[in-house]
Amino acid sequence: MKRPALLVIPCLLAGCVGGQSTPPPQVAYVEATQTQPATSETASRPPVPITVENPVPDPKARKWKSHEAKTASAVRKATQTALDADFEGVILNYVYQHGRRYRVVVDGPSEDWKEDADVTTLTLGQDDGSEPDIAIGGDPLWFSVDKIGSGIDETSMRAKRDKVRALQRGAYQTMITVKCFRRGARTSLRIGTGQRKYHFDLSCANSHGGNGYNPDVQFTYAHDQVVGTADPPRPVREFTPPVVADTRYTVEGPETWRPREWAAWNDGANTHVRPSPAVRSRPVPMLAAGSSFYLDPSSSEYVIAGLPSEIRFPWGETAVVVRRAP
């Protein structure tokens, strides 16, 4: 009676061995559900306190191999585009900061050397009234740069008095026009106005009369941002140091999003992802179905429920991928 049973067992084992060749199911990544941070949270596991041996991970310091490589990285970080600015109608509004480089796209002509391209006006505000120093480099042949005025009739007998009054009110402005005579041309422009230095990366549009160029560019300055009625004070929140249980994470992605400056860890219950300070946008992470996250209002970092092995942050056709070591 026992012999038939012995014959069945090898067959079952053979079936099990054959089943190992079946590939595991693939995880379908979908947009995670964003939730609101709770007022009080308790971790499902005992939290691990921060110690010298268990600190919050810092971005890895990059060692440069050459003067040129470090310089190129600094220029990329300093360059501001429309993605970093705001618009007031069609006016591109940059926040001025010393050392930054501002990209401006000007209208292209219908044909090379045609003068039918629209002009771009750069409005440089609230300076000491000195005559601006203008230096155009790169490929200056295809661009013209002129000062058209400062909002004061320079031919008037009262011009000097009006200028002094404008300076006292902080309303003195320097206006520079830029025009291009060849599609696709690029050059650099530097303007010194006494108190400030402006660095521009000028590029000519590949079309004439389109919507992709900047007809007007202006600047907001640090003291402009505090003018007006002050907001009521917000309640002071006690700062609670983050709890770190596991820092074995890797971050990969396009160099544009500076993955080396990201940090990731978990507290035993939730996963925390801190993007690079240079990354201002916060895309919805792609996670397994049913996952959720929220943005910490005090640090703008992601807090993702659970301990997923992989988190994707999509940007167009690319993505930054955060992976937890097994």
At 126-143, the pLDDT tens digits run 665 567 788 887 777 889
Burial call 153-170: b when 16+ CB within 10 Å, e when fewer: eeeeeeeeebbeebeeee
Query: Is the pLDDT reported for residue 205 higher than 90?
Result: yes
pLDDT at 133: 81
DSSP helix/strand/coil, 6: helix
Give the tokens for residue 306: 């659970």
Query: Is the pLDDT reported for residue 13 higher than 70?
Result: no
pLDDT at 92: 94
CA dist., res. 162 & res. 173, Å (int): 12
Query: Is the pLDDT reported for residue 40 higher than 60?
Result: no
**Mean predicted lDDT score pLDDT of the chain:** 77
Give the tokens for residue 213: 């160029």
Q: Is 259 exposed, middle or buried (0-12, 13-18, 19+ CB in 10 A)?
A: buried
CA dist., res. 100 & res. 299, Å (int): 25
Q: How far apart are the first and last CA of the chain?
A: 48
Residue 108: name the closest of 176, 185, 177, 175 by CA. 185
Q: Is 11 exposed, middle or buried (0-12, 13-18, 19+ CB in 10 A)?
A: exposed
At 261-285, the pLDDT tens digits run 899 999 888 999 999 887 877 888 8
State the Cα angle at 318 between 314 and 323, rounded to 5°.
65
* Lowest mean pLDDT segment, chosen from 66-75, 147-156, 224-233: 224-233
String of DSSP letters for 98-123: TT-EEEEEEPPPSSTT-S-SPPEEEE
Query: Is the pLDDT reported for residue 318 higher than 90?
Result: no
pLDDT at 235: 58
More confident position, 186 or 300 = 186
CA dist., res. 90 & res. 216, Å (int): 7
The torsion of the CA quartet 262, 267, 271, 273, rounded to 10 degrees, works out to -20
Q: What is the mean pLDDT of residues 207-235?
A: 71
CB of 190 closer than 8 Å to CB of 137: yes
Give the tokens for residue 311: 């988190």
State the Cα angle at 141 between 77 and 136, rounded to 5°.
40
pLDDT at 317: 78
Q: Longest C-alpha distance within the chain, in Å?
A: 123
Query: Is the pLDDT reported for residue 18 higher than 70?
Result: no
pLDDT at 195: 77
CA dist., res. 280 & res. 302, Å (int): 13
Q: What is the mean pLDDT of residues 149-155?
A: 57
The torsion of the CA quartet 218, 223, 226, 228, rounded to 10 degrees, works out to -70
Query: Is the pLDDT reported for residue 208 higher than 70?
Result: yes
Give the tokens for residue 210: 């389109």
Query: Is the pLDDT reported for residue 20 higher than 60?
Result: no
CA dist., res. 282 & res. 287, Å (int): 15
String of DSSP letters for 196-226: -EEEEEEEE-SSSS-SSS-SEEEEE-GGGGG
pLDDT at 7: 42
* Lowest mean pLDDT segment, chosen from 3-17, 63-77, 100-114, 200-214: 3-17
More confident position, 29 or 192 = 192
In eight-state DSSP terms, residue 246 is B
Query: Is the pLDDT reported for residue 222 higher than 90?
Result: no
In eight-state DSSP terms, residue 141 is G
